[in-house]
Amino acid sequence: MAEPRILVLFGDDSFTRDEEVRRLKQARRAEPGGEYNLDELQAEEVDLPRLRAICATVPFLAERRLVLVHNLLSGLLAPVDKKGKVAGKSAATATNGEAPPEVLKGILAELPATTTLVLVEGRLDRRRVEPLLPRGRARLVEFPRPRNEELESWIRQRAAHKGLRLSDEAIGALRDDAVRLFEYLRAADLARLDAELEKLAAYADGQVLDTEQVRLLATLHEENVFALLDAVTEGRSGEALARLRGMLERGVRVDGLLPQLAAHVRRLLVAQETASRRLSPDEVARDFEVSPWLLRRLQPLARQLSARQLDAACERLLEADRAIKAGQRDPEAELELAVARVAVLLRRRM
């Protein structure tokens, strides 16, 4: 199959997408002409007439050129207001009044056989992109964020590539820690996960690592934060306070911890509602923007707590937030009081 002239690389998994971009650049640099046949641009750096001219440039001592443009489609396909503005810029700039998507469609249709154009994007609606692409000469490649089992497969593949040998239990532990971390970050940080695998590979030196070693060496799971949340939820107030004080002594900010505690209690409320009403975690997860995996994980614990307990915990954390923002109490002292009180509130099981 002939190499397509136009590639659209898009999706939430920017880490793997950018790896593919680097691979394409390295391959082009290895060809005759090297850097002379490679252009990489951000959308804001180039208007459509200039892009047409760049794509039409004849290769230097080579058969093909590579042109990469970042975030062009997402800008052109963004909603346009009545004044023709997109994100503060004129959508009709240097297009003689013609709609920019139609201008781009013409550029793509006329793309010389000597140019490979790669459009690098984040999240896209492929249904809006496909009509712009010339049939048979373009390919869309999506890089979705890996989830749950897909993430475990991703870890296995990356570990094998690095020569890292992990037990099945260790892979499962890394997957669970990554899912938890991504849930709190609201985005997948695969670069950080890959860096952890690199560090583990250097330590292992060919040996198989088990769960205990992974827990000891990897910092991905942010053990202190998760251990604090677990201790509070399970009513272990003494341990929760000890972990909180240790984190505060290391410089962790109160305004970073309090929202995480409140969000965790809210997730418990959602998990409890899901379990009590026998709702589908997948459906509820979409409505509340919580991962289905996390809901399933929290359900057994949420069943042991009453809605009254969780409501009281939410109210106590909200009270602490108000007191801190109003300057009524010392932030660290107020957070310690809130953590101790919430742990006591949640200690009683149904």
Overall average pLDDT of the 176-188 stretch = 66
Same domain, 183 and 308: no
Task: Flag whether pLDDT at 183 surpasses 70.
Answer: no
Domain harbouring 27, CATH code: 3.40.50.300
Same domain, 163 and 115: no
Overall average pLDDT of the 42-55 stretch = 90
- pLDDT at site 82: 47
The DSSP secondary structure of 243-308, one letter per residue, reads HHHHHHHTT--HHHHHHHHHHHHHHHHHHHHHHHTT--HHHHHHHHT--HHHHHHHHHHHTTS-HH
**99's tokens:** 């709609």
Domain hosting residue 236, numbered range: 223-347
- pLDDT at site 90: 40
Overall average pLDDT of the 230-259 stretch = 84
Residue 80, domain member (yes or no) = yes
The alpha carbon torsion through 236, 241, 242, 244 (nearest 10 deg) reads: 120
Picking from 110, 142, 174, the residue at the C-terminal end of a domain is 142
- pLDDT at site 142: 94
Picking from 175, 198, 217, the residue at the C-terminal end of a domain is 217
The predicted model scores a pTM of 0.60
Dist. CA 263–CA 250, nearest whole Å = 23
Picking from 217, 233, 261, the residue at the C-terminal end of a domain is 217
pLDDT classification of 285: cutoffs 50, 70, 90: low
* Range from 182-196, 244-258, 272-286, 334-348 that averages highest in pLDDT: 334-348
Domain count, the chain: 3
**What percent of the chain is modeled with pLDDT above 90?**
34
Task: Flag whether pLDDT at 223 surpasses 60.
Answer: no
Same domain, 243 and 323: yes
Residue 1, domain member (yes or no) = no
- pLDDT at site 301: 82
Same domain, 241 and 209: no
Side-chain-facing half-sphere of 48: CA atoms under 13 Å? 22
Same domain, 41 and 82: yes
The per-residue pLDDT for range 70-128, each reduced to its tens digit, is 999 988 887 554 454 544 344 444 556 678 889 999 999 999 999 999 999 998 988 99
Dist. CA 216–CA 219, nearest whole Å = 8
Q: Looking at 49-63, 85-99, 317-331, which range is the least confident one? A: 85-99
Same domain, 243 and 338: yes
pLDDT classification of 306: cutoffs 50, 70, 90: confident
Mean pLDDT, the chain, rounded, equals 83
- pLDDT at site 143: 92
- pLDDT at site 87: 45
CA angle 193, 196, 197 (to 5 degrees): 90
- pLDDT at site 20: 94
Same domain, 12 and 57: yes
**162's tokens:** 């690095």
The per-residue pLDDT for range 134-157, each reduced to its tens digit, is 988 999 999 988 877 788 899 999
**CB-based contact 218:173 (threshold 8 Å):** no
